[in-house]
Amino acid sequence: IERASFAYHYLTAVIFAMIAIAYVVDELLRRPAWRQLAIGYLALVVVAGVLIYPLGAALPMPDWYINAARALPPWNYAFQFPDPPQGERGDLVSASGLKLAAGALVAMVAVAWSLRGRAWSPPLVRLIAQRRAALRD
């Protein structure tokens, strides 16, 4: 492809694909025979996400990473990386990334702290009890 590709055109379909995949993985996690496969898939998704995120986020990356990206089957890398990038490269993990992770952890702790001791809504408790009973049968 020798022209720009606008990835945001695909975001609506991505949301529905993510919902469909989440549904299938949820069903697999509920079945003991398939649980190992679902956990392996989730681990693979996390690893792939960590490896591909810098490309999607347009982070300044070292030459070896960009060359590894070029070794993948091409889609539109000729447009994105016509020549080796010039200039200073940042570290793969920087203090700002660590600050982001720490901030996310603090946010999760704050949410968990705010929800502690709260009673679940009765319809939700009833729904959970029904699902558990159905799974036992």
Which value, in Å, is the radius of gyration of the alpha carbons in the chain? 21
**Which of 54, 117, 48 has its CA nearest to residue 90?**
54
Q: What is the pLDDT of residues 83-127, one digit of tens each?
A: 666 677 666 666 677 777 887 888 888 877 776 766 656 666 777
pLDDT band at residue 20 using 50, 70 and 90 as cut-offs: very high
pLDDT band at residue 19 using 50, 70 and 90 as cut-offs: very high
**Which of 40, 83, 84, 77 has its CA nearest to residue 56?**
77
pLDDT at 84: 60
Q: What is the pLDDT of residues 37-63, one digit of tens each?
A: 889 999 999 998 888 888 888 888 888
Q: What is the pLDDT of residues 25-34, one digit of tens each?
A: 999 899 888 8
* Residues contacting 128, CB < 8 A, separation 6+: 120
